Structure 1
Amino acid sequence: MTSHPNPPPASINFVWQPHRNYAYIQEQIFGLIEDCLPSGTVVHTVGDAVDGALSLSLFIRQSREEIAATPADIVMAHGIADKRYFFIVGSDGLPLVNSCKYVFVPGDWHVNRLVEGRFRRNPKYQLTLQDSQIRKVGWLRLDPMIAKSKTNPAKSHRKLKVLWAPTHNTISSTKSDSELSPSSFPAFKKHLPWIYLNYQSEVSLHPRNRGTKTPTTEKLIACDVVISDFGTMVFESWALGKPVIFPRWCIDVKTLMERNPLSAEAYIYRNRIGLHPETPKEMHRMLRDIDRMRIEDPNFDSRGTGVAEFIDHYIDPAERGFDANRTARELISILSEVS
């Protein structure tokens, strides 16, 4: 591991974006990194770069209304779902990521996606990032969850705890709850009474779909199994060793796969990575099996087909549980390279 001199004061700038739905996420991520840097290294701005400082943003664009690159040297996405986030184009039709000096990604999946982006058929949409600009840093939001899971291990004798944590819905508010979207919200709501009757249950909607915007960290740590669809929650759950159930009958799977066919989400659904019930009855059976196996063999991996290999490819496991420190070191390394 290469050591670098301590960075000078105010040499790293955390660029906040005024997104009400993501204020707590920004606070959490920036806080985890700053705690691993020498005191006085970091300054904070809202939507601005700082002359002479290395600027980090958690958003690739300034806002949904203003499709322009965020004023930052480095972008690390605020979540780790693929959703072709790094392929978003600006108002000029060109990929916003090409304006970044560096991109921080969780693992090899995103590295490969960005490298492959150089070879898109239409030159206009080709990415220009070179290998040296793409840095693997794992996923630092796992750090506090892993630490807390070690100090408060699950008790196998209690009732199975099920968490429904859908990503935000993408259908018009004029549509009814019975209509499908790529999210399991809102269609899965009608199945919650059965969950309530048979298991301990929690619900954590995406910040866009609920009043309180705090992250789902505590509920994720405490649960045994997650019901979700295609957001960051899927990957965090798998990395924590928790099974994820994808209720396909409540999800517009066809749209999800066709809209971003090269995305990790499409890959998961196409190859049925994890647990993919087609009916409520099949989901009930899966939950019973998970409940039984956690008691009979606490070390049994209930996550399903292909998850163990996939998640280590998606989130680099080299320093899992200490990725905030890894991210801070990468910032210091870049500072030494550009100084």
Structure 2
Amino acid sequence: MLGFNSDIGVDLGTATVLIYRKKNGVVLKEPSVVAVNQDSGKVLAVGQEAYNMIGRTPGNIVAIRPMREGVIADFTVTEVMLKNFIQRASKKKLMLKPRIMVCVPAGITSVEQRAVLEAATRAGGKQTFLIEEPRAAALGANLDIFEPSGSMVVDIGGGTTDVAVLSLGDIVTSSSLRVGGDKFDESIVQFIKNSHNLIIGERTAEEIKKQIGTAHPQAKSETMEVRGRNQVSGLPQNIVINSDEVYEALREPVTNIIDCIKQVLEQTPPELSADIMDKGIVITGGGALLNGLDKLLQEEVDTPVFIPEDPIGSVAEGTGKALEYLDKLESSLMSSKNLSKGRR
């Protein structure tokens, strides 16, 4: 009899989808983008190929991000995207449908939970489960969340930031903020528009964030040439910006994340707070790679801060591990077996 080697974990992110398969690790990492011909409704490309089309397509072709702020914004396109990725990540000629563990932001509504469950099930899942992003991130970062001891995880994704304190396999206190990597990019776009009268695209903003972006005023000092369109003349223009400017651009969303972390710490029972002081805070997700963020957080909350070796893959790996610990977790997970039961 075949086992559950076909089981997969899905990090259904706003910016990126990662799929983890047991014994194989992360087998797929693709942008959460689908290119669609608006005239015919035909899907032209999914993932990286579609991402390369952003801002470069004729009027009848649109590159869609079906996930917004951690939830499904376009159900039909999300289903198509998921089906494509699951087929690519699964073994060829697979006889059994996989069990699928999908991570979702801790703060999504029951309606949004149902939408994710239905999309994943219709995309080919035998049975689908949902797990909160911070719980998956903690498992992926190799934290022992089943012990009677407090662990704190901050997962900064493309659309949301999830902050949670965990103990005995479950979330004790948490908060979800619809601020993440996309908000960082939007802030950079707006700052450059206001400061330099230059209009840039989201891909350019993302490159700026990665190359010279910083969350700490003393963490980085670099410059970068940026190309865009002058909003007064309408003509192409090159400018040079520096890390100090990007720090100013990112200050508001970064401050929102810090405030959210402080709020969760204030709501944490004293015994678990002591555990966190000893073990530190773990940051995962693509936002963890923002230069100086760990240093800033450590200064703000006076607690050690750690980033795992693969912060982007932590959630995907955690979804796969959650299937291995299903006997301990199933009672606290929402699943396609019983849509009426779930965590709000």
Per the TM superposition, whether the score is higher than 0.5 is no
TM-score range, shorter chain: under 0.3
TM-score by length of 1: 0.28
